Amino acid sequence: MANKSIQLLSIFVVLLGLWCLSDATKYRKMVGIYELRKGDFSIRVTNWGATIISVVVPDKQGKLADIVLGYDKISSYVVGTSYFGALVGRVANRIAGSRFTINGTPYHLYCNNGNNSLHGGHRGYSAVIWDVIEKVEGDSPYITFYYDSFDGEQGFPGDVDVHVTYKISPDYKLTVTMHAKPQNKLTPINLAQHSYWNLGGHSSGNILNHRVQIFASHITPVDSELIPTGEIASVDNTPFDFRKPMTVGSRISQLKGGYDHNYVVDSTPDELGLRRVAVVEESQSGRVMELWANQPGVQFYTGNFLNGTEGKGGAKYMQHAALCLETQDYPDAVHHPNFPNEIYGPGQAYEHVMVYKFSARK
């Protein structure tokens, strides 16, 4: 009943003007849709969940298409459960048992995925209104959103200042920069950008023929609840091996439902600390998406839980209608000392950079 009440309240807010009153600053925060455009390359975003609504790029013949799944109305993002295009946190992915301990102090989180916490809880960063700090036009247009994450939010300790910037450039690059700074307590932080990609166009069917290359020789295996076991396993001789380009559908039948696994990125960082994470290609359109990031892992997800959701333009998004590549720290790292640390404290800064490079092959 509590979940339904919260959901109804969120819908009420959206339908009555999409605003809320901040106790701290006493001003109304409006929900809006913002466009960044450079030539025939454009994206639309909203400050509801710092969400990417559309990404429009040309194919090999110059034909434009929107290549991310989403909705026509903001109200659909409010009630949706697929996290289309959202910025998720305070901790992306799953935390087992919805609890963890820091320096002997236990913390209990909101359960929204069975007994586990997923993507920050039932009202994580994907389900709040962010402030629009800056929107700049010019050669490389960008927009920056800010969220003041409060102590005890969804059970997480401490106040955290969170920023995300979306920037496009004339060479068809989309850069996503996420910053977070704890103010007064140690806390886990693991942000992720949760766009669903279909390079043929958001309504073009499934992605089983997309060719994917992931620059990772290991994964973190999961149990029946998709919680990491703590093992770091080689992809050798498994359907998880995408070190050479393979179609998504070539071995997906060997997995229950499809891919929903964290890969351990092992390519060499460039001078900016970014690693080449993955390359995706769709042959009919010729579109190519190359992803670089500075995080140790990437969640490869093939839209396993999509089941006919009505999206933009009345499109029906069925299972495997898109794929996600969510760069991240390893899931459930708070329970696995052998995983990279995701605990940050006052005076420390979390920084997560992603660069999507789009092109089209003739």
206 is annotated as contributing to ligand binding: no
Closest CA to 160 of 151, 168, 169: 151
Q: What is the largest CA-CA distance in the chain?
A: 59
Whether residue 94 has a cis bond before it, omega within 30° of 0: no
What are the structure tokens assigned to 173, written together? 């690059």
Q: Which residues contact 175 (CB under 8 A, 6 or more apart)?
A: 165, 166, 167, 168, 169, 353, 354, 355, 356
Residue 94 annotated as part of some ligand binding site: yes
CA separation for the pair 289, 287 (Å, rounded): 7
Question: If phi over 0 gives left and psi between -120 and 50 gives alpha, with beta otherwise, what is residue 233?
Answer: beta
Say whether 179 counts as a known binding-site residue.
no
Q: What's CA 11's distance to the chain center, in Å?
A: 23
Backbone angles phi and psi of 333, in degrees to 5: -60, -25
194 is catalytic: yes
Active-site annotation holder among 194, 202, 210, 261: 194
Q: Are strands 287-293 and 260-265 parallel, antiparallel or unpaired?
A: unpaired
Per-residue CA distances from 316 to 3, 203, 248 (Å): 26, 7, 20
Residue 196 marked as a ligand binder: yes
* Residue of 153, 281, 282, 326 marked active site: 326
Residues tagged active-site: 194, 326
Please enumerate, by residue number, every residue annotated as part of a binding site: 93-94, 194-196, 260
Please enumerate, by residue number, every residue annotated as part of a binding site for beta-D-galactose: 93-94, 194-196, 260
